[in-house]
Chains A and B, each alone.
Chain A
Amino acid sequence: MLRVLLGANLLALLAALAQTPDLGGWLLRFIEMAALVEPLLLCALLVLAAARDPLRRLPERLGQTLVLLVSGGLAYALSTYWQALSLGEASGNLRPTLLAMAGAGLLLGYFELRSRAFSPAQAEARLAALNARIRPHFLFNTLNAVLSLIRAQPQRAEAALESLSDLFRAAMRDPGALVSLADEIELGKQYLELEHLRLGDRLAVDWQIGPVSLSQPIPPLMLQPLLENAVYHGIEPAPTGGTVRIVIEQQGDELRIAIANPTASRAHHAAGNQMAVANIRERLALYYDLEARLEIETGDHHYEVRITLPCRQQTP
């Protein structure tokens, strides 16, 4: 979506450059052009978004042809309307129509190239490699803790093993499929429960879940690796422990997840952590392209990761 807007504007900019001989007139021409291009672009996007599902079911070439025709048709209609209002230049309707079709064609070509570069098989392999990164340190320490419980508290040991198997099932699940926010939160809670077993009172957790739609889909294992980081870098190195705070809230059509932990020092949060964060950032890009963000805030004794995702009601 964002790429279409940016792409079309870039094309308009280039077209304006081609039409004017000097640089001073270029920007002016671009603004003039934008008056025609932007409504057209928005209309086309609206129509295409509404027709998204039927279009997707068509064979690829037919779908592309239809998109071209829709853009051309809209351009024709709009330029007629413009001329009726006597705003546009009386240069006929053919030129804008052809230009719109050429623009749409170029963008379609770009998307095809892009999707080839990120072909599903490749994207899936990358997702699989990026997922399922539970630290061995955590696995073996947890198994050790569970072993210590078996004799004295067999029921707690059973519960811990059940949580552990849920966690690994999640890590080994099809990485392309989305999960519900509720499931991801549940998984995070189970994970922290296991860490609590090992760390006892050193680990305090503060969940702040605002009014959000818990059924909305999000990519799997967004929360857990960040919680693991928070515990590994924030809580374990501190002799007296600390609090991991998780804030989940919805603002407009954005879902925001923030995970904060105390740190001993800035330097402590070095290499291992950046890997996990880079990993999540790449996965967000694969799922959402430019519509998701990940930000990091570091203070002297504070570290926070914030993820912003578009809210979606069903699997796209």
Chain B
Amino acid sequence: MPSANPLKILLVDDEPPARERLRALLGDIAGQLPTEVIGEAGNGLAALEILREQMVDVVLADIRMPGMDGIELASHLGRLEKPPAVIFTTAYDNYAVQAFDLNAVDYLLKPVRAQRLLVALQKVAAAHPDPALLNHIGQEARGGGRTHLSCHERGRLLLVPISEVLYFKADLKYVTARTVDRDYLLDEALTHLETEFADRFLRLHRAVLVAKNALAGFEKAAGDDAEAYGWALLRGVPEKLPVSRRQWAPAKALVKNS
């Protein structure tokens, strides 16, 4: 389905020559498939920065990049209002990218051939990427380990660095992430967060995960307190978090040993 509008493309690779090469190839196939490169980025974070301002149709992303890699970038793209299609470019096949549904996500091996690039672009131009699938890419490809969480707020994509999150709290419908400055509403499940960031966060309560390095101390609750067995005090914020009877001893042991 060749359209009158050129396909809008964002190039993401930490190596400038690799981006240059993709530009040259896109020029070569312009006769068959007109494209417009709307920007270049050196890693996932820089790419999301550009995508905040501009919509694109396709993101061509390297997998191994410093800062934020291509897999994590793809998993945040699902939160954009109109998620672009993703084509991974990778030098060496050490990620299980080929396991993905190739209608929404494709991958090309570097050095990329013009013909392969054309086929991949034509394919994604015809398909509509599924945001849910993009969200799960990170989990599938390498079992999570994201550096950032993303959420949507008044039409904008916000990124929350995991290292700044003090705790997660689950309410009826949402999970809230708290940093020193503010709260963020996330569309995540607390159990997933717990497994993905097990080395960083500790469960205090049925509805609370706390960053281990944010724990400052503990307070025993009054005997008739139905909500919690005890309370955890945090560095940087005044509020206390409830600790369940079951988590009381392991949490205290952790703080003592650190």
Contacts and interface: CB of A to CB of B under 8 A. Distances in A.
Nearest to A235: B66
A151 B67 CA distance: 30
Contacts of B18: 141, 144-145, 148, 198
> Which of A140, A144, A151, A236 has most B Cβ within 10 Å?
A144
B92 A140 contact: yes
Contacts of A147: 21, 111
Interface size class of A (residues with CB under 8 A): 20 to 34
Contact of B111 (A143, A236, A237): A143
B110 interface: yes
Interface string A253-283: 0000000000000000000000000000000
Interface in A176-201: 197-200
Interface in B1-37: 14-18, 20-21, 24
A28 B100 CA distance: 74
A237 B66 contact: yes
Contact of A140 (B20, B21, B66, B111): B111
A227 B91 CA distance: 20
A144 B21 contact: yes
Nearest to B23: A148
Nearest to B199: A267
Given A141-B91, A148-B17, A238 B66 contact: yes
A236 B21 contact: no
Contacts of B64: 137, 236
Main secondary structure on chain A at its contact with chain B?
helix
Contact of A144 (B43, B66, B67, B112): B112
B78 interface: no
B109 interface: yes
B42 interface: yes
Contacts of B92: 135-137, 140
Interface size class of B (residues with CB under 8 A): 20 to 34
Given A199-B15, A238-B66, A144 B91 contact: yes
A149 interface: yes
A239 B111 contact: no
Contact of B91 (A140, A149, A151): A140
Contacts of A200: 15-16
Given A136-B92, A141-B91, A148-B21, A239 B15 contact: no
A239 B68 CA distance: 9
Interface string A141-182: 101110111011000000000000000000000000000000
Given A198-B17, A236-B64, A144 B110 contact: yes
Nearest to A160: B17
B137 to A, nearest CB: 20
Nearest to B46: A239
A65 B220 CA distance: 83
A148 B24 contact: yes
> Which of B20, B21, B91, B92 has most A Cβ within 10 Å?
B91
Interface string A94-118: 0000000000000000000000000
Given A140-B92, A141-B91, A149 B110 contact: no
A152 B64 CA distance: 26
B15 to A, nearest CB: 5
B17 A144 contact: yes
Contacts of A140: 91-92, 109-111
14 contacts: A136-B91, A140-B111, A141-B15, A144-B110, A144-B112, A147-B21, A147-B111, A148-B21, A197-B17, A198-B15, A202-B14, A236-B66, A237-B66, A239-B42
Given A198-B18, A199-B15, 17 more contacts: A140-B91, A140-B110, A140-B111, A144-B91, A144-B112, A147-B21, A148-B17, A149-B17, A151-B24, A152-B20, A199-B14, A200-B15, A236-B14, A236-B64, A238-B66, A239-B42, A239-B67
**Pairs of residues from A and B, 3 with the lowest C-beta to C-beta distance, nearest first:** A148-B21, A140-B91, A145-B17
